[in-house]
């Protein structure tokens, strides 16, 4: 697989959003963890909603705890697809790894009354992860 990494990296830098999206699918399906920094960059900076959405999906598949802060920030994205894929990535990590790794940051989003879309996604993430801390936060901060 390492021989494919240069080709995938070139695809990730393509001017064609569909090529960047294909590269992200390959990274996820092939579980290429070494390209997580590149995926994070696309999630944070790509202008195309579909590319950012697929980047969040790829991070979900790779399930690396170091990506939690960027995924939490992606819940503020203008695109529902990005917010949704980032939210599911956080749900899956919260269930698979440790809820305490995800829940505190998601609670901060829930508390932020400046962005309803992000708060709504935080609510959904917390209900899917569950647990006493998540439910207490929902009772306290969700109106």
CATH number for region 2-141: 1.25.10.10
Residue 2 pLDDT > 70: no
| Listed residue (91, 42, 49, 50) closest to 70, CA to CA | 42
Residue 103 pLDDT > 80: yes
Tell me what pLDDT residue 108 has.
Answer: 97
Tell me what pLDDT residue 1 has.
Answer: 61
- Percent of the chain predicted with pLDDT > 70: 99
pTM of the model: 0.92
Tell me what pLDDT residue 105 has.
Answer: 95
Contacts of 18 (CB under 8 A, 6+ apart): none
Residue 3 pLDDT > 90: no
Contacts of 128 (CB under 8 A, 6+ apart): 91, 94, 95
**Per-residue confidence at 100, pLDDT binned at 50, 70, 90?**
confident
Question: Which residue reads 């956080």 in tokens?
Answer: 90
- Give domain limits for the chain: 2-141
């Amino acid at each position: 697989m390492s021989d494919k990494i240069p080709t995938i990296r070139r695809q990730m830098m393509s001017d064609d959003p569909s090529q960047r999206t294909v590269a992200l699918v390959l990274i996820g399906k092939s579980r290429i963890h070494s390209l997580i920094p590149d995926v994070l960059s696309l999630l944070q900076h790509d202008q195309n909603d579909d590319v950012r959405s697929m980047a969040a999906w790829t991070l979900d598949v790779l399930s690396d705890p170091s990506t939690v802060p960027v995924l939490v920030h992606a819940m503020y994205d203008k695109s529902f697809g990005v917010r949704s894929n980032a939210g599911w990535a956080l749900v899956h990590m919260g269930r698979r790894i440790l809820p305490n790794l995800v829940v505190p940051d998601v609670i901060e989003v829930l508390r932020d009354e400046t962005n309803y879309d992000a708060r709504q996604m935080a609510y959904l993430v917390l209900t899917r992860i569950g647990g006493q801390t998540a439910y207490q936060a929902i009772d306290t901060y969700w109106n």
